[in-house]
Amino acid sequence: MDALINASARALATGDALGALKRIALREDPPALALRGIAMAQLGEHPRARELLRRAARGFGAREPLSRARCVVAEAEVALAMRDLDAAPRALENAIATLETHADHVNASQGRLIAARRQLLLGRLDEAAATLAALARGRLSPALAAIAQLARAELALRGLRTGMAQAALERAGQAAAQAGIPALLAEIAEARSLLARPAARRRHAENEQALRLDEVEALLASGALVIDGCRRGLRRDGAWYPLARRPVLFALVRALAEAWPNDAGREQLIEQAFRTRDPDETHRARLRVEIGRLRALAAPLGRIEATARGFILIPHDAREVALLVPPLESEQAELLALLADGAAWSTSALALALDTSQRTVQRALAELEAEGRVRAIGRARAQRWVAPPLTGFTTILLLPAALPAG
C-alpha cells in the first residue's frame, strides 16, 4: 500500500475518521474505497459506508480474496450498527475462514466479535458464548480486547452473573485505556453504570422494592419461589418453568404471588386472567380448569390449594414467594428495551430479535408512535425506528433470553 493509504489506516485505528478522509477522500481505487467506507461508518453515515465497502469488495474481486474478506467483515459490522440482522451470516463465516487461511488473525477475530454481538442481540446466548470462547485462543489488539470483554460482560449480565460482568468490565477498561479510544472508554463507562441502576422491582403485598442486577441475582440464589414478571415464568433453585407462551397461567400465578401469603379471591383471579369484571359461571368453570393446569405445572415447586375465598400458593419447604416485576410495566416492554440502546431498528430486525411476526411488531410500533414513545425515520424499506434512551433503570432483564433456562 502507498503512504497515503498507510497513513489513513493508522488514523482510523485511533478513531480519527476525519484525518483518514483528508488523505483519501477523492480516491476511487479499492483500498481507498474500503478505508473511506470505514471512516464513514465511524462518523455514523452507515448507508454510505455500506455502499463504499461493497464497491471496494467488487473492485478487489476474486483475485484478491484477503482484501475482499476484510471488506465483508467491515460491511458486517456496519450492518450490525444499522441493526440489519437479516444479513446472511454465511458470508461473514466464509470471510472469517478466508482470513484464517491467510493468517490474518486480527481481522478474523474482529469478524468473530461481530458474529458474537449479533448473537447477543438475537438472544442466542449459548452461540455467543461459544463464539467468544474461540477468541480466547488468539491474541487481540487492545481495542479488540476491550470490545471482546464488553461482549463477555454483556453475556454475563444477560445470565445474571454480575461478578463475572464486573471482572470483564474491569479488563475492558484496562484494554480501552491502552487503546486510547474515547468512544470505547465512554461505552465501557455506560456499561458499568448499568450495575448501579434498578433492573427490576420486587412487589410485596403492601409495597415494592427496587432491585439492582446483583440483588436480583441474590434473590434467585436464595431458594425463594420467584415469579418472574420480566421473563414470565417461575424459578427456584435453578429450575426454570417458562410461561411466556401461556399468558393466562402466568396471570393467575402472578395474582397468587401478589396476594401471598394470603389467598387470592376468585373474582380477582378471573379479572386478571380473563380481563372481565362481570364473571359468570363459564368464567368460574374456566378458572377451575386453568388452576388445574397451573397446579400440575407448579407441582415441583409448590401447591395451589382452594380456600373459601379463592386459591392460595404454598411453596414447598415453607419457603417464601417473591414476585419480580419489570422496571417498565408495558405490553411493549421488550420492544422498548431493544430500542433503548438508541440505535435505529427495522421492523424485520425487531421481529427477528423478539422471535415474533413482523406484523405484530408493526402494530406495537404504531401504538407506541401514537403515544409519542417512538418515532420513525425514513420511508418504505429504508424506514427505521428509534426511541429516546430509558434513563434511571436498566432494561437488561427485558432483552431476549435474558435469563437462560435452568
157 closest CA partner among 145, 167, 147: 167
Calculate ∠ Cα 259-402-42, nearest 5°: 140
Cβ atoms within 10 Å, residue 122:
18
Rounded alpha-carbon distances, angstroms, from residue 56 to 37, 65, 71, 91, 96? 9, 12, 7, 16, 18
| pLDDT (0 to 100) of residue 40 | 92
306 closest CA partner among 270, 249, 263: 263
Contact in structure between 395 and 327 (CB atoms under 8 Å)? yes
| pLDDT (0 to 100) of residue 1 | 55
User: What is the tens place of the pLDDT at every residue in 374-387?
Assistant: 888 887 777 888 88
User: What is the tens place of the pLDDT at every residue in 212-247?
Assistant: 999 999 998 888 999 998 888 998 888 889 898 899
User: What is the tens place of the pLDDT at every residue in 182-216?
Assistant: 888 998 998 898 888 898 999 876 778 889 999 99
Contact in structure between 117 and 187 (CB atoms under 8 Å)? no
Contact in structure between 120 and 128 (CB atoms under 8 Å)? yes
pLDDT of 153 above 60: yes
Mean of all residue pLDDT scores within the chain = 87
Distance, C-alpha 179 to centroid of its chain: 26
| pLDDT (0 to 100) of residue 54 | 92
pLDDT of 404 above 50: no
| pLDDT (0 to 100) of residue 138 | 60
Cell of 295: 397446579
Q: How much is the average pLDDT of 81-98? A: 86
Q: Which residues contact 135 (CB under 8 A, 6 or more apart)?
A: 109, 112, 113, 116, 148
| pLDDT (0 to 100) of residue 85 | 82
Q: pTM of the predicted model, to two decimals?
A: 0.83
User: What is the tens place of the pLDDT at every residue in 7-50?
Assistant: 888 888 777 888 889 888 888 899 999 999 999 998 888 889 99
Q: How much is the average pLDDT of 60-83? A: 90
